[in-house]
Chain A
Amino acid sequence: MKNIISTIGCVALLASAVALTGCDSLLDQTSSSEVPASEFWKTEEDATYALMGAYQHVRGLFDRDYYFDGHGELLRVRSQGVLSTSPGNIVRGGAYSNGNYYPDPMWGYGKTFDAYYEMAYGGVNRTNYVIENVQKMIPNAATEESRKNLEAIVGEARLLRGMVYFRLITMWGDVPYFDKVVNDNSEVQYISRTPIAQVKDSILADFTYAFNTLPDKASEEGRAAKPAALAFRGKMKLYWASWKKNGWPELEGFQTNEAEAREYYASAAEDFSHVIDDYGLDLFRGGAPGQCGEPGDGETLPNYFYMFIPSTGNPGGAEGEFVFYFTHGGPGTGQGESLMRDFGGRSVGNSQNWVYPEYVLADRYQSTITGDYCEPLVQMNPNTNPDARTTPNSAVNPQSYANRDYR
């Protein structure tokens, strides 16, 4: 009996020893609800999933650009910044949150776009993460096809990054530029601005890489192909040419350069012509560059406005193709957009009517009777003037809008 017990004792002590050696696995606990990065970056699917994550974020930087039209005279964006957005949530308009979209001096014109700035750099980090990690996979690609596929993924991510930086320089001129994964706050805590010319070159390099690696036609709806890279490269060049020609006095050290402008104009036109001609895209109004007036006059110039305008047609239908677009999901996906909530009136679902046209838009409608432009509408306040709703040509008189051609 005693021996047996002593044996048990020894076994127990031995078990402790075994437990000691087993403590490494005890201390390596892994999550069962989130993917560990150490197990990731093995297959092309992994690279694609990461790219989709970047798409989700970058989509949120471009999907409510209609708010910016509030700075123009035709669209009124109610409220200073809350709108239908959820602050901090990139899918629910977090990038557009807190911005001022009504050019009222009392609201500081277009100030407080810090959320947009923050989220735009969020997009930079998201794309950098994909680019850097997929780049590392390329040398280990098993087949040529796999290598091409991975390069295309990097290309797509670089296209997205280029778009984000393009937006950043558009809004803030010189901006800090970084193209690496940041692992610690100290790497960017005191980062300084990079001159715009340098950022521009990096953007063009991104677009060029994307153009070289992307397929002619997108493999799936919602993703980019060559024409997108080309169109954005053209747009970047056109943008640069315009500032170089006309100057940017607010931007310190920015100098005009006629020769450089001309070079970029030509190069832009070259890129755009390929977009229009080479890929068989059925763009809105054929992506027409627009009018060209007397050479040297400069009053009327091709602006390629139609190439980037959202089509009135349905995707796939006549004039229903885009150079590039982001896709949203329907109810229940958590990936929807807020067009209805923003534009819809109070009587439509949960709509909040944050965005609506200014009455002056109707001044651009011709009369269906005479074919001429009508008398400009007159603004009247129905709260102080009881006749406001009945006075002819009053902006709040429903009759004023009769017989105007809204097409």
Chain B
Amino acid sequence: MRKETRFYLRVLPLALLLGVSPTMWAKSQQDQTLATQQAEMTLTGVVMDQNNEPIIGATIMVVGTTNGTTTDIDGRYSLRGVPANGTIEVQYLGMKTQTIELNGKNVVNVFMEDETIGIEEVVVVGYGTQKKVNLTGAVSNVKIDEQLNSRSLANVSLALQGKIPGLSISQGSGMAGDKGMEILVRGMGTVNNSAPLIVVDGMPDVSLDRLNMEDIESISVLKDASSAAVYGSRAANGVILITTKSGKGSKPKINASASYTFGVPTHAWSFMTDYARSMTLHQRNKAINTLPENFQYKNGTIDEWLALSNINPFLYPSTDWYDVVLRNSAIQKYNVSASGGNDMSNFYVSVGVMDEDGMVMNNDYTQYNARINYEAKLTNNFTVGARFSGNWSKMQYGSDGQYSSIIDARQMRYAIAGITPYDPATGRYGGTMAYGENLQAFNPYSMYMNELNHKERQEANGSVYIDWKIVKGLTAHVDYTLNYYNDFVWNSDIPTDGYNFQTGLVTRPYVSSDAGVTNNTMIGYKTQFSGRLTYDFAIAQRHKFTVMAAYSQEYWHDRLQYTTSGDKIHSSLTDLDGTMKNPDLISIDGLTTTEGLASFIGRINYSAFDRYLLELTMRTDGSSKFLGQYRYSFFPSASAGWIFSEESWVRPWAGSWLSHGKLRASYGTLGNNSGVGEYEQQQLLTFAPYIINGQLSKGLVYEKMVNSNLTWEETSVFNVGLDLGFLNNRLTAELDYYDRLTTGMNRPFDMSIHLTGAYDTPRTNVGDLRNRGVEANVTWRDTHGDFSYTINANVSYNQTRLEKWNQYLGRNMADENSTANLLFLDMPYSYLYAYQSLGIAQTWSEIYKTTPQGAQPGDVLYQDLNGDGLISDEDMKAYPRVQTDRPTTNFALNSTFQWRGFDLALMFQGAAGRWAFYRTVNNQSTLDGEGRQAITEQQWNNTWSVENRDGGLPRIGSAASNKNSTFYLENLAYLRLKNLQIGYNLPDAWLKKIKMSQIRLYFSTDNLFTITGFSGLDPEKRDINDGYPLMRSFSFGINLEI
């Protein structure tokens, strides 16, 4: 008790500071005093685990009262006022709860057993929780443990990679502050927004990237219609449910952690720094069709450079641009949290900071997180709670906005080695110098210094809720949530010129002298009000029912304001008031959008004899995006499960090895309205002014034709699964098959030429897309004395197929929204369509033997697939089982080993089934003819010539080789050691001396090695032109618990 009081004294200022009311604590103390008055005896004892180690913070409660305590640092407890014939309940997270009848004993030592993981486990599902054993839908669960936290990842999405079968997570970029994460549940479900719904503590639409991973208790992924149907129209692409930590059943404690991570690129492009050679290659390129006197670069220029580059590298530079603009990345993370709880109330408060220096210079990101979760009982049947979390971030990166990535192959190709980045003596940025160079050549250093973009974002998410146990079995829950964000993006480019240090002249402006300031503000909030009633009851004891009915309404309000004003008063100023405010150089945009969604939700769970399970779910959604008869849509689902291992005819022969067996199946419908604009279904008039008397005259036109028949995009999912547990659940397996059909995908459609001159094409329901796949998740757990280990393997395969498209689809026709992805019926979305390469022609006789195609030795020869004597796009071959944008198969092997204080984690992760043309400006053999292309080592060393027949690339300047052919086709399958981690917990004996509960030291490394045949930057990246490397990282960290 004294120890506790001291603790409270320590926590109290923190609690006050964070707004937690201390009165609840006082009340709980008072209740205990009351209980003392009925005291009959004082109960003492020790709580220990299977290894006879004391358990700190286990809760001991007298059943039927509010009298309770927690064990101290030695696992001891002492509880006054316990009725001699009472019953106590001992709880500890991750251990089986024990109920012990005292029968007059006043010393009770308790040995806790580990909870048999996976079976008694409670899983968070939509609008409630369910025992994992009773699940009939496809739900996967991840506990965020110490080891996952210790990977010091920049965001939560990365942590989910390889953890759940069917959840594919790809990282688009290594950029600090924007890793370009794409999360897909069971493949790409629609050509519109296919991202899953993220729900944090009951509130949908929270960004996964901005959560503090240390705050997360568990993550559930709802993969099929039955589990996700309670989210109806929001859930067509799956749901990720996140529950944050609470202090429930935990003794008061403070946790602190700190980590430092540094990273190097997993792989980088290799440019040639020898500029004289680069110019020589340009000459060779020109020589194909140009007389020597018309070459871009003269022999004299090359000789001059060759002779002087070693003598005066300032005037004749050999710049290694990657060396100039890339650096080692660094992530620092610090977190402090306090939590605690007793029977009356519990709390969790935390603050965290992450600071990331990206791999590209001046790309920095800092994020601060704070959270308060608080819950208290007002009376025995009334609980109120509040949650608040906030985050604040600041991001900076250099970019001129030309490409989505801040370091793109198509831009870096103009970063020629012959430019001096910067001269500190004069403050000048280098421009083109060699005679014949194109003035448009690129100085990346100037861009990363002078064209910086800044993003600041603040979020505040708060919610309050009331739980009311009205009568036995019937509970009501009402909550209100508000999420607010403020997003501010600004830039103020610094006027800069490129400078020729040889001639002392300006080459061209990099940033024009009238560059101004841009301020983009986005502010918005989202509210959700929801109420639900849950009724648990049983008929004849063996028929158990849970009936849930809920209503929820959501409202979105987003406002943006974009302002740009040109011509700064002084180059150092960064605000709009620091500009000349010349009306001709000002542009302003402002817009508010709002959306409402009302939902009625119902669910019935029925279990008979603890082995026959049935679940019916329905949700009706009404959206402000739709009008009239299409406003509301109904999404039903049903699922059933059969725990056959509980059958009396199974037990006798299988009971010894089969500990759990369940067959489950589900079918249902989900919806998606994300493709439809907020006001798209309303007749709105657009401003179209005319001129009257020389002045603008207000004019309005109707230019958005409304498709009054537009309806919801629907996804129906059939899922069948098998859950198995063997050998006392040491071996568990979950197997799933699903068939997911999305119908009525909406897209703006082809419209008559008699209308397109006046109207934008409205959306119509044009296409159907099917995803089919299998998933397996197998885990082996065991303990041998001090040694325990877990090995988990998971694999998923998904195939996508376009089944219907009510518009013209031609050969080689790409999706108009993402032009890299080809569309055709009965083919995967983004299927592979390729010319068949016969390899590089080595001799003329080889060329004469093939279909005439204007080739010469060194060119890629193509196969005349249809035999018409011509090489045309009719000779391309389609591959019905290959995708070019995403892998079809994802797999991972997770393993952890524990021995005394040591722990080791190994995680392998990989993907297969994606093939793509790896042909970028860096590895094709045609050069930009304008005289500003940087040359890669590959282009210099590997291009075909009579002396270099096996270089691998076609001859220099071979434009005909640049077709999408199997020559440039590469398999993007990979297997990588995603994570290797070693941790050590200091022994308790040492900890006691310094009065700590836990100290863990660890070392962790991500992406240590990769096995892949892909020669591009990284097979995990979506865009082959994106040059921001992924990180091979090394982390050191410490976790403390007081």
A residues with a Cβ closer than 8 A to B are 1-2, 5, 8-9, 12-13, 15-16, 19-20, 23, 26-38, 40, 49-57, 59, 90, 114, 117-126, 129, 176, 178, 182-185, 188-189, 191, 220-223, 327-335
Contacts and interface: CB of A to CB of B under 8 A. Distances in A.
Interface stretch (B107-115, B590-598, B990-998): B590-598
A124 to B, nearest CB: 8
A327 B691 contact: yes
Contact of A330 (B593, B631, B694): B694
A52 B753 contact: no
A35 B699 CA distance: 11
Nearest to A334: B689
A91 to B, nearest CB: 8
Contacts of B867: none
Contact of B692 (A16, A53, A223): A223
Given A29-B596, A33-B592, A222 B692 contact: yes
B466 interface: yes
Given A9-B468, A38-B683, A118 B757 contact: yes
Contacts of A122: 756-758
Given A31-B682, A36-B684, A335 B476 contact: no
B679 interface: yes
B766 interface: no
A-B residue pairs, 6 tightest by C-beta: A122-B757, A52-B699, A37-B683, A125-B758, A53-B701, A26-B596
A50 B553 contact: no
Contacts of B699: 49-56
A16 B756 contact: no
B378 A5 contact: yes
Nearest to B477: A12
Given A9-B476, A122-B758, A35 B685 contact: yes
B583 interface: yes
B478 to A, nearest CB: 4
Contacts of A52: 688-690, 692, 697-700
A2 B381 CA distance: 9
Given A33-B591, A37-B684, A26 B624 contact: yes
Contact of A2 (B379, B752, B755): B379
Max chain A CB contacts within 10 Å: which of B591, B683, B686, B752?
B752
Interface residues of B, number: 65
B708 A53 contact: no
A34 B754 contact: no
Given A34-B685, A36-B683, A40-B685, A27 B692 contact: no
B700 A53 contact: yes
Given A34-B685, A183-B708, 4 more contacts: A55-B690, A59-B690, A327-B690, A335-B696
5 contacts: A28-B596, A28-B624, A125-B758, A176-B754, A329-B691
A337 to B, nearest CB: 10
B703 to A, nearest CB: 9
B598 A27 contact: yes
B366 interface: no
Interface in B689-723: 689-702, 705-708
A399 B255 CA distance: 93
Contacts of A191: 752, 754
B531 A114 contact: no
Given A52-B689, A54-B701, A222-B690, A126 B623 contact: no
Contacts of B692: 52, 220-223, 327
Given A31-B682, A120-B757, A125-B755, A335 B700 contact: no
Contacts of B584: 331-332
Given A27-B631, A34-B684, A330-B694, A56 B598 contact: no
A123 B758 CA distance: 7
Interface of B: 378-379, 382, 466, 468, 470, 476, 478, 529, 531, 551, 553, 555, 583-584, 590-598, 622-624, 631, 678-679, 682-702, 705-708, 749, 751-759
A277 to B, nearest CB: 28
Given A32-B592, A122-B758, A53 B684 contact: no
B583 to A, nearest CB: 7
A332 B382 contact: no
A1 B27 CA distance: 14
Contacts of B698: 49, 52
Contacts of B555: 26
Nearest to A35: B685
B745 to A, nearest CB: 18
A27 B690 contact: no
A26 B755 contact: no
A5 to B, nearest CB: 5
A222 B691 contact: yes
Contacts of A129: 701-702, 758
Contact of B623 (A20, A27, A33, A332): A27
Contacts of B591: 33
Given A52-B690, A52-B697, A30 B379 contact: no
Contacts of A223: 692
Given A16-B551, A34-B679, A329-B691, A185 B757 contact: no
Contacts of B700: 35, 40, 49-50, 52-53
Contacts of A178: 754
A16 B468 CA distance: 14
Contact of A31 (B531, B623, B684): B684
A49 B596 CA distance: 31
Contacts of B468: 9
Nearest to A133: B702
B482 to A, nearest CB: 15
B592 A335 contact: no
A329 B684 CA distance: 25
Contacts of A118: 753, 756-757
Contacts of B678: 29, 31
A218 to B, nearest CB: 10
Contacts of B598: 23, 26-27
A327 B595 CA distance: 40
A29 B679 contact: yes
